[in-house]
Protein backbone atom coordinates (compact mmCIF):
# COMPACT_ATOMS: atom_id res chain seq x y z
CA UNK A 1 0.00 0.00 0.00
CA UNK A 2 1.34 3.45 -0.95
CA UNK A 3 0.66 6.27 1.50
CA UNK A 4 1.67 9.91 1.72
CA UNK A 5 3.24 10.84 5.06
CA UNK A 6 0.60 11.53 7.68
CA UNK A 7 0.13 11.29 11.43
CA UNK A 8 -1.82 8.06 10.92
CA UNK A 9 1.32 6.26 9.72
CA UNK A 10 3.02 6.95 13.05
CA UNK A 11 0.63 5.82 15.75
CA UNK A 12 3.37 5.41 18.36
CA UNK A 13 5.19 8.24 20.08
CA UNK A 14 8.74 7.30 19.07
CA UNK A 15 10.86 10.29 18.04
CA UNK A 16 7.84 12.57 17.87
CA UNK A 17 9.79 15.86 17.75
CA UNK A 18 11.75 14.89 14.64
CA UNK A 19 8.60 13.58 12.97
CA UNK A 20 6.81 16.86 13.65
CA UNK A 21 9.75 18.78 12.18
CA UNK A 22 9.64 16.60 9.06
CA UNK A 23 5.91 17.17 8.56
CA UNK A 24 6.38 20.93 8.96
CA UNK A 25 9.22 20.89 6.41
CA UNK A 26 7.11 18.88 3.96
CA UNK A 27 4.26 21.38 4.28
CA UNK A 28 6.58 24.37 3.91
CA UNK A 29 8.43 23.08 0.83
CA UNK A 30 5.53 21.31 -0.86
CA UNK A 31 7.69 18.19 -1.19
CA UNK A 32 5.75 14.92 -1.22
CA UNK A 33 7.33 11.81 0.25
CA UNK A 34 5.84 8.44 -0.68
CA UNK A 35 6.21 5.38 1.54
CA UNK A 36 6.11 1.88 0.04
CA UNK A 37 7.34 -1.46 1.35
CA UNK A 38 9.72 -0.25 4.03
CA UNK A 39 11.23 2.71 2.20
CA UNK A 40 10.25 6.35 1.80
CA UNK A 41 10.95 8.02 -1.51
CA UNK A 42 11.33 11.51 -2.88
CA UNK A 43 11.39 12.06 -6.66
CA UNK A 44 12.04 9.36 -9.21
CA UNK A 45 11.43 11.71 -11.06
CA UNK A 46 11.26 14.92 -8.98
CA UNK A 47 8.93 17.82 -9.88
CA UNK A 48 10.00 19.63 -13.05
CA UNK A 49 12.15 16.78 -14.35
CA UNK A 50 12.30 16.59 -18.16
CA UNK A 51 13.41 13.48 -20.06
CA UNK A 52 14.23 9.94 -19.00
CA UNK A 53 15.96 8.75 -15.82
CA UNK A 54 19.72 9.27 -15.30
CA UNK A 55 22.13 6.61 -16.61
CA UNK A 56 23.58 3.83 -14.46
CA UNK A 57 26.37 4.83 -12.08
CA UNK A 58 24.65 7.93 -10.67
CA UNK A 59 23.46 6.54 -7.32
CA UNK A 60 25.30 6.77 -3.99
CA UNK A 61 24.81 4.69 -0.84
CA UNK A 62 24.58 6.53 2.50
CA UNK A 63 25.17 4.60 5.74
CA UNK A 64 25.64 5.09 9.50
CA UNK A 65 22.77 7.54 9.72
CA UNK A 66 21.37 8.33 13.16
CA UNK A 67 17.98 6.62 13.24
CA UNK A 68 16.11 9.78 14.26
CA UNK A 69 17.29 11.81 11.24
CA UNK A 70 14.84 12.35 8.39
CA UNK A 71 14.52 13.89 4.93
CA UNK A 72 14.17 17.45 6.24
CA UNK A 73 17.88 17.21 7.14
CA UNK A 74 19.12 14.76 4.49
CA UNK A 75 17.53 16.01 1.27
CA UNK A 76 18.73 19.65 1.57
CA UNK A 77 22.19 18.36 2.52
CA UNK A 78 22.53 16.03 -0.47
CA UNK A 79 20.86 18.50 -2.84
CA UNK A 80 23.70 20.90 -2.10
CA UNK A 81 26.09 18.57 -3.99
CA UNK A 82 24.05 18.39 -7.21
CA UNK A 83 20.63 17.82 -8.70
CA UNK A 84 18.78 14.94 -7.07
CA UNK A 85 16.67 12.63 -9.21
CA UNK A 86 15.58 10.40 -6.30
CA UNK A 87 16.19 9.97 -2.58
CA UNK A 88 15.17 6.77 -0.76
CA UNK A 89 15.32 6.41 3.03
CA UNK A 90 14.88 2.90 4.47
CA UNK A 91 12.33 2.84 7.31
CA UNK A 92 11.30 0.64 10.24
CA UNK A 93 7.70 0.01 11.29
CA UNK A 94 8.19 2.29 14.31
CA UNK A 95 8.97 5.30 12.11
CA UNK A 96 12.74 5.37 12.70
CA UNK A 97 15.04 5.09 9.73
CA UNK A 98 17.08 1.90 9.32
CA UNK A 99 20.42 3.72 9.22
CA UNK A 100 20.90 3.89 5.46
CA UNK A 101 19.59 5.59 2.32
CA UNK A 102 20.20 5.98 -1.42
CA UNK A 103 20.57 9.23 -3.37
CA UNK A 104 20.39 9.14 -7.16
CA UNK A 105 21.73 12.16 -9.02
CA UNK A 106 21.12 13.67 -12.43
CA UNK A 107 24.72 12.95 -13.49
CA UNK A 108 27.74 10.92 -12.48
CA UNK A 109 29.64 14.15 -11.77
CA UNK A 110 27.02 15.22 -9.20
CA UNK A 111 27.25 11.79 -7.55
CA UNK A 112 31.05 12.08 -7.37
CA UNK A 113 30.68 15.52 -5.80
CA UNK A 114 28.37 14.06 -3.12
CA UNK A 115 30.88 11.34 -2.26
CA UNK A 116 33.74 13.85 -2.09
CA UNK A 117 31.75 16.25 0.07
CA UNK A 118 29.93 13.93 2.46
CA UNK A 119 31.95 10.74 2.97
CA UNK A 120 32.90 10.84 6.67
CA UNK A 121 30.85 14.03 7.05
CA UNK A 122 30.07 14.68 10.74
CA UNK A 123 26.29 14.83 10.57
CA UNK A 124 26.38 15.15 14.32
CA UNK A 125 29.17 15.32 16.84
CA UNK A 126 30.81 11.89 16.92
CA UNK A 127 28.62 10.63 14.06
CA UNK A 128 30.44 10.55 10.70
CA UNK A 129 28.33 9.13 7.88
CA UNK A 130 29.55 6.87 5.06
CA UNK A 131 28.86 7.87 1.45
CA UNK A 132 30.07 5.68 -1.42
CA UNK A 133 28.99 4.35 -4.80
CA UNK A 134 25.87 2.18 -4.66
CA UNK A 135 26.71 -1.41 -5.60
CA UNK A 136 23.31 -1.82 -7.27
CA UNK A 137 22.91 -5.47 -6.27
CA UNK A 138 20.34 -7.18 -8.47
CA UNK A 139 20.82 -10.89 -7.64
CA UNK A 140 19.20 -12.91 -4.86
CA UNK A 141 19.88 -16.47 -3.76
CA UNK A 142 16.91 -18.64 -2.74
CA UNK A 143 18.11 -21.66 -0.76
CA UNK A 144 16.38 -24.66 0.79
CA UNK A 145 14.62 -25.78 -2.39
CA UNK A 146 13.73 -29.43 -2.88
CA UNK A 147 15.58 -31.52 -5.47
CA UNK A 148 12.37 -31.90 -7.51
CA UNK A 149 11.82 -28.16 -8.09
CA UNK A 150 11.87 -27.19 -11.77
CA UNK A 151 13.03 -23.87 -13.14
CA UNK A 152 9.82 -23.14 -15.10
CA UNK A 153 7.70 -23.88 -12.03
CA UNK A 154 9.83 -21.63 -9.82
CA UNK A 155 9.93 -18.78 -12.31
CA UNK A 156 6.15 -18.84 -12.77
CA UNK A 157 5.67 -18.73 -8.98
CA UNK A 158 8.12 -15.84 -8.63
CA UNK A 159 6.38 -13.84 -11.35
CA UNK A 160 3.17 -14.08 -9.34
CA UNK A 161 4.64 -12.60 -6.14
CA UNK A 162 7.48 -10.33 -7.39
CA UNK A 163 8.04 -7.91 -10.27
CA UNK A 164 10.97 -7.32 -12.60
CA UNK A 165 12.55 -10.77 -12.60
CA UNK A 166 14.95 -11.30 -15.53
CA UNK A 167 16.27 -14.83 -15.02
CA UNK A 168 16.20 -17.85 -12.73
CA UNK A 169 19.00 -20.44 -12.59
CA UNK A 170 18.98 -23.59 -10.46
CA UNK A 171 22.09 -25.12 -8.87
CA UNK A 172 22.89 -28.03 -6.60
CA UNK A 173 23.39 -26.71 -3.08
CA UNK A 174 27.10 -26.63 -2.12
CA UNK A 175 26.22 -27.22 1.55
CA UNK A 176 23.10 -29.45 1.54
CA UNK A 177 22.70 -32.87 -0.03
CA UNK A 178 19.51 -33.49 -2.04
CA UNK A 179 18.79 -29.75 -2.03
CA UNK A 180 18.92 -27.01 -4.60
CA UNK A 181 19.27 -23.27 -4.61
CA UNK A 182 18.23 -20.68 -7.17
CA UNK A 183 19.90 -17.47 -8.29
CA UNK A 184 17.31 -14.81 -9.12
CA UNK A 185 18.31 -11.82 -11.23
CA UNK A 186 16.09 -8.70 -11.28
CA UNK A 187 16.04 -5.71 -13.61
CA UNK A 188 17.09 -3.22 -10.91
CA UNK A 189 18.32 -3.02 -7.34
CA UNK A 190 14.98 -1.61 -6.25
CA UNK A 191 13.06 -4.50 -7.85
CA UNK A 192 15.42 -6.99 -6.17
CA UNK A 193 15.06 -5.31 -2.77
CA UNK A 194 11.25 -5.38 -3.00
CA UNK A 195 11.37 -9.02 -4.12
CA UNK A 196 13.62 -9.90 -1.17
CA UNK A 197 11.15 -8.31 1.23
CA UNK A 198 8.20 -10.15 -0.35
CA UNK A 199 10.01 -13.50 -0.20
CA UNK A 200 11.12 -12.96 3.41
CA UNK A 201 7.48 -12.38 4.33
CA UNK A 202 6.67 -15.90 3.09
CA UNK A 203 4.69 -14.97 0.00
CA UNK A 204 6.21 -17.79 -2.07
CA UNK A 205 4.83 -21.30 -1.52
CA UNK A 206 6.53 -24.37 -3.01
CA UNK A 207 5.36 -27.48 -1.18
CA UNK A 208 6.90 -28.03 2.23
CA UNK A 209 10.22 -26.40 1.39
CA UNK A 210 11.65 -24.10 4.09
CA UNK A 211 13.20 -21.45 1.89
CA UNK A 212 15.62 -18.69 2.79
CA UNK A 213 16.36 -15.63 0.67
CA UNK A 214 19.41 -13.37 0.77
CA UNK A 215 21.58 -11.24 -1.46
CA UNK A 216 23.89 -13.33 -3.65
CA UNK A 217 27.31 -13.29 -2.02
CA UNK A 218 30.26 -12.82 -4.46
CA UNK A 219 32.08 -15.84 -2.97
CA UNK A 220 29.04 -18.08 -3.44
CA UNK A 221 28.60 -16.74 -6.97
CA UNK A 222 32.18 -17.68 -7.79
CA UNK A 223 31.76 -21.14 -6.24
CA UNK A 224 28.66 -21.78 -8.34
CA UNK A 225 30.50 -20.65 -11.47
CA UNK A 226 33.37 -23.03 -10.72
CA UNK A 227 30.94 -25.93 -10.43
CA UNK A 228 29.62 -25.39 -13.95
CA UNK A 229 30.48 -27.91 -16.63
CA UNK A 230 33.69 -27.50 -18.58
CA UNK A 231 33.53 -26.58 -22.28
CA UNK A 232 32.91 -29.32 -24.86
CA UNK A 233 34.63 -27.53 -27.74
CA UNK A 234 37.03 -24.72 -28.43
CA UNK A 235 34.24 -22.16 -27.93
CA UNK A 236 32.17 -21.57 -24.84
CA UNK A 237 28.62 -20.44 -25.46
CA UNK A 238 27.05 -17.87 -23.19
CA UNK A 239 28.65 -15.24 -21.01
CA UNK A 240 32.19 -16.57 -20.87
CA UNK A 241 34.94 -15.44 -23.20
CA UNK A 242 35.89 -17.52 -26.26
CA UNK A 243 38.31 -20.30 -25.38
CA UNK A 244 40.35 -20.17 -28.56
CA UNK A 245 44.04 -19.59 -29.28
CA UNK A 246 44.44 -16.03 -30.48
CA UNK A 247 47.15 -14.90 -32.94
CA UNK A 248 47.35 -11.53 -31.20
CA UNK A 249 50.13 -10.16 -29.06
CA UNK A 250 49.42 -8.84 -25.60
CA UNK A 251 51.21 -5.62 -26.48
CA UNK A 252 48.97 -4.87 -29.48
CA UNK A 253 45.74 -5.55 -27.61
CA UNK A 254 46.80 -3.51 -24.59
CA UNK A 255 47.77 -0.61 -26.84
CA UNK A 256 44.23 -0.60 -28.25
CA UNK A 257 42.76 -0.76 -24.74
CA UNK A 258 45.01 2.04 -23.45
CA UNK A 259 44.10 4.23 -26.42
CA UNK A 260 40.38 3.79 -25.73
CA UNK A 261 40.86 4.58 -22.02
CA UNK A 262 42.94 7.69 -22.71
CA UNK A 263 40.31 8.86 -25.19
CA UNK A 264 37.77 8.82 -22.36
CA UNK A 265 40.14 10.41 -19.80
CA UNK A 266 40.75 7.16 -17.91
CA UNK A 267 44.18 5.95 -16.81
CA UNK A 268 46.15 2.80 -17.70
CA UNK A 269 44.20 -0.41 -16.90
CA UNK A 270 45.52 -2.87 -14.29
CA UNK A 271 45.07 -6.64 -14.83
CA UNK A 272 44.83 -9.50 -12.36
CA UNK A 273 44.57 -13.08 -13.68
CA UNK A 274 44.34 -16.34 -11.75
CA UNK A 275 44.05 -19.97 -12.87
CA UNK A 276 41.17 -21.46 -10.87
CA UNK A 277 40.64 -24.86 -12.54
CA UNK A 278 42.47 -27.36 -14.76
CA UNK A 279 40.64 -30.28 -16.36
CA UNK A 280 42.21 -33.64 -17.34
CA UNK A 281 42.54 -32.56 -21.01
CA UNK A 282 44.75 -29.63 -20.09
CA UNK A 283 42.16 -26.88 -20.47
CA UNK A 284 42.62 -24.12 -17.90
CA UNK A 285 39.92 -21.90 -16.49
CA UNK A 286 41.07 -18.39 -15.62
CA UNK A 287 39.46 -15.68 -13.53
CA UNK A 288 40.37 -12.14 -14.49
CA UNK A 289 39.73 -8.67 -13.14
CA UNK A 290 40.58 -5.38 -14.76
CA UNK A 291 40.55 -2.14 -12.81
CA UNK A 292 40.66 1.17 -14.66
CA UNK A 293 41.70 4.12 -12.45
CA UNK A 294 39.03 6.76 -12.92
CA UNK A 295 36.28 4.16 -13.33
CA UNK A 296 34.64 2.98 -10.11
CA UNK A 297 33.53 -0.49 -11.24
CA UNK A 298 36.14 -3.20 -12.04
CA UNK A 299 35.36 -5.60 -14.88
CA UNK A 300 35.77 -9.30 -14.11
CA UNK A 301 34.87 -12.69 -15.56
CA UNK A 302 35.98 -16.22 -16.41
CA UNK A 303 37.44 -17.87 -19.52
CA UNK A 304 38.73 -21.26 -20.68
CA UNK A 305 42.12 -21.50 -22.42
CA UNK A 306 43.21 -24.38 -24.64
CA UNK A 307 46.50 -26.21 -23.88
CA UNK A 308 47.87 -25.36 -27.34
CA UNK A 309 51.01 -23.25 -27.18
CA UNK A 310 51.21 -19.98 -29.06
CA UNK A 311 54.51 -18.64 -27.79
CA UNK A 312 52.77 -16.91 -24.89
CA UNK A 313 52.42 -17.75 -21.22
CA UNK A 314 48.97 -18.80 -20.02
CA UNK A 315 48.59 -15.54 -18.13
CA UNK A 316 49.50 -13.55 -21.24
CA UNK A 317 46.88 -15.43 -23.25
CA UNK A 318 44.34 -14.82 -20.47
CA UNK A 319 45.08 -11.09 -20.58
CA UNK A 320 44.64 -11.02 -24.38
CA UNK A 321 41.20 -12.65 -24.18
CA UNK A 322 40.19 -10.46 -21.21
CA UNK A 323 41.39 -7.29 -22.94
CA UNK A 324 39.39 -8.13 -26.07
CA UNK A 325 36.29 -8.67 -23.95
CA UNK A 326 36.87 -5.40 -22.08
CA UNK A 327 37.39 -3.52 -25.35
CA UNK A 328 33.94 -4.67 -26.44
CA UNK A 329 32.38 -3.75 -23.08
CA UNK A 330 34.01 -0.30 -23.00
CA UNK A 331 33.21 0.33 -26.65
CA UNK A 332 29.54 -0.35 -25.95
CA UNK A 333 29.28 1.45 -22.62
CA UNK A 334 31.43 4.51 -23.24
Q: pLDDT tens-digit profile of 43-78?
A: 999 999 999 999 888 999 999 999 999 999 999 999
158 Cβ contact partners less than 8 Å away, ≥ 6 residues apart: 165, 168, 184, 195, 204
* The predicted structure's pLDDT at residue 243: 39
Average pLDDT of the residues in 298-302: 75
Beta-bridge mates of residue 213: 142
Is the pLDDT confidence value at 28 over 80? yes
Q: Average pLDDT for residues 109-126, to the nearest whole number?
A: 92
Q: Model confidence over 178-198: pLDDT tens digits?
A: 788 899 999 888 889 889 988
Structural domains of the chain in order of their starting residue, each with its CATH number = 7-133 (3.30.70.330), 139-227 (3.30.70.330), 250-330 (3.30.160.20)
pLDDT value for 11: 44
Q: What are phi and psi of 162, to 5 degrees?
A: -135, 165
Q: How far apart are CA 280 and CA 282, in angstroms?
A: 5
Is the CB of residue 107 less than 8 Å from the CB of residue 58?
yes
Cα separation values, 326 from 12, 238, 261, 269, Å: 54, 16, 11, 10
pLDDT, tens digit, 9 for 90 and up, residues 204-238: 877 666 788 998 887 777 677 665 533 433 333 33
**pTM higher than 0.75, yes or no?**
no
Amino acid sequence: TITTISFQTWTNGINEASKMALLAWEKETGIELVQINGQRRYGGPPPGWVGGPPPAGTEVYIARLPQDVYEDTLIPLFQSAGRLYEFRLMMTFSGLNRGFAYARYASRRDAQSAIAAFHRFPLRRGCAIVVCWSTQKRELVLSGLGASVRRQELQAALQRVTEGICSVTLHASPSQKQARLAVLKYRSHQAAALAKKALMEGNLRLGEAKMRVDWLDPQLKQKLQLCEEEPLSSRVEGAESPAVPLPLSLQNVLECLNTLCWKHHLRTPLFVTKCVQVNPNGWQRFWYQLAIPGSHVPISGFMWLSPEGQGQSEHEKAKVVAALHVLRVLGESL
